[in-house]
Amino acid sequence: MRLVDPTVLGRFSLVGKRGIVTGGSSGLGLAISRLLARAGAEVHVLSRSGRVKTGGAGPDPAGIVHHAVDVTDTSVATAAVASIGGPGLDFLVNNAGITTKKPATDFTVEEFRTIQTVNVDGVFALCQAAFPFLTMAPDAGRIVTISSMAAHLGFDGVVPYCASKAAVTGLTRGLAVEWAGRNILVNSVAPGWFPSEMNRQVMDPERQQKILARMPLHRYGEPDELANAVLFLLSPAARYITGIDLPVDGGALAFGY
């Protein structure tokens, strides 16, 4: 049996790295946090509950620290980033986000603004807060924000969410260009359809049938399949990648008609 070259495995290792994941108490954020910890990172998870929500399969691996922080409260969230970042930061994963399903004509300005505040303003504020610590990372600081298929495709019933995720991709490209000379790589990952609480909020049988029909792989993604993409972008293997939105979508964006 051939042995794997350890230098190859090392390209995907996060041993010695430390960073922050928002919205990591359940669902996709929990899967991301746990995979990064299993790859060797010290992972600080920010969530309103400050713990794994009911239904989280099994205990956390070593290396995860939970913090009760509401990332919609900018002053509290930025203070938490500053406190955690004291010893240095290697990465920030912006995963927290919200949506509401109803016709565009029924949204109030306040409801539209709330979704932008969490999904766009909150992400920008955390990037700003993490910036001075990420600039000092030995192997380049990394920011990965979870975007969405809604950044690329239109969906009825979630127009404010579409707008917010399109803004996330613009923010990713802008920061990638501006901070390239400051030792920071900035990317985003666009999930397709995964068994998350947010997707359950907007899913009905008719929409589910349409979604599965237009995906070449004709199945939902597994949480670890998204987490793998985040791990790659945070790893030394991705040191020449910045400013992209990486689809993890079962081929949905490639599908024609």
162: left (phi over 0), alpha (psi -120 to 50) or beta: alpha
Give backbone dihedrals phi and psi of 12, rounded to 5 degrees, phi first. -115, 10
Query: Please, where are the H alpha helices in 11-90?
Result: 27-38, 74-85
Q: 3-state SS of the chain: helix, strand, coil percent to 5? A: 45, 15, 40
* Number of residues written out for the chain: 257
Question: Could you confirm whether 161 is annotated as catalytic?
Answer: yes
CA dist 125 and 146 (Å) reads: 15
For residue 44, give Cα distances in angstroms to 40, 89, 154: 13, 10, 34
**Nearest 5°: phi and psi at 135?**
-65, -20
Axis-axis angle for helices 159-178, 122-134 (nearest 10): 20
Does residue 125 contact residue 75 with C-beta atoms inside 8 Å? no
DSSP 56: -
Residues with catalytic function: 161
